[in-house]
């Protein structure tokens, strides 16, 4: 088993009319759904902004622009029975292809080849039983006026 470590992540918030683009996934240990924006790990020698550009290209095959750092969150959590600790750089960004903002969902692919969908959700989608993660992200986005 690998030693516990702190993971550096970057997430990108794509928004339209008070909604944000998120991936819904399921924690089988806690038996609830969670929502998280697009993003992933920051690789050694890569800035967090570079990580976002790479992750969105890898997962959605889409170029982005106008990245703006919204804030940094620290998240200590249990997911699927395993402890996690992340430092998360949260960015606002825009797709180059404006047609994506009109779609109900966008298909993506994880680095392991697993398919997934991201969809537009407003604040009514998030609750204690189906939270927006990482912790603190909901308040950050409400404070920035990006989530209704």
Q: What is the pLDDT of residues 76-108, one digit of tens each?
A: 998 888 899 999 999 999 999 999 999 999 999
Judge whether residue 22 has pLDDT over 80: yes
110/42: higher pLDDT: 42
Look up the pTM and report it: 0.94
The reported pLDDT for the residue numbered 136 is 96
Residue 1 confidence (pLDDT) above 70: no
The matching CATH number, chosen from 3.40.50.10800, 3.90.79.10, 3.40.50.970, 3.90.180.10, for 11-77+84-118+136-143 is: 3.90.79.10
Give the domain ranges of the chain. 11-77+84-118+136-143
> How do 82-95 and 7-13 pair as beta strands?
parallel
Q: What are the phi and psi torsion angles at 97 (to 5°)? A: -85, 100
Instruction: Write the DSSP string, 46-62.
Output: --HHHHHHHHHHHHH--
Q: Please give the Cα distance from 13 to 47 (Å, whole number).
A: 17
- Tens of pLDDT, residues 28-79: 888 889 999 999 999 999 999 999 999 999 999 999 999 999 999 999 998 8
What does 13-57 look like in DSSP terms, one character per residue? E-EETTEEEEEEEEETTTTEEEEE-EEEEPPTT--HHHHHHHHHH
The pLDDT of residue 144 is above 80? yes
């Amino acid at each position: 088993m690998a030693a516990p470590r702190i993971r550096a992540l970057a997430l990108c918030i794509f928004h339209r009319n008070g909604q944000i683009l998120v991936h819904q996934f399921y924690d089988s240990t806690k038996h609830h759904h969670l929502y998280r924006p697009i993003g992933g790990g920051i690789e050694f020698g890569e800035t967090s902004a570079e990580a976002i550009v790479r992750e969105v290209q890898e997962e959605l095959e889409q170029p982005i622009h106008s990245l703006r750092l919204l804030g940094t969150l620290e998240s200590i959590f249990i997911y699927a029975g395993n402890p996690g600790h992340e430092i998360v750089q949260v960015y606002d960004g825009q797709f180059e292809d404006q047609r994506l903002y009109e779609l109900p969902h966008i298909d993506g692919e994880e680095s392991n080849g697993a398919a997934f969908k991201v969809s537009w959700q407003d604040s009514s989608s998030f609750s204690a039983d189906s939270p927006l993660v990482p912790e603190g992200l909901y308040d950050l986005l409400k404070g920035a006026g990006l989530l209704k």
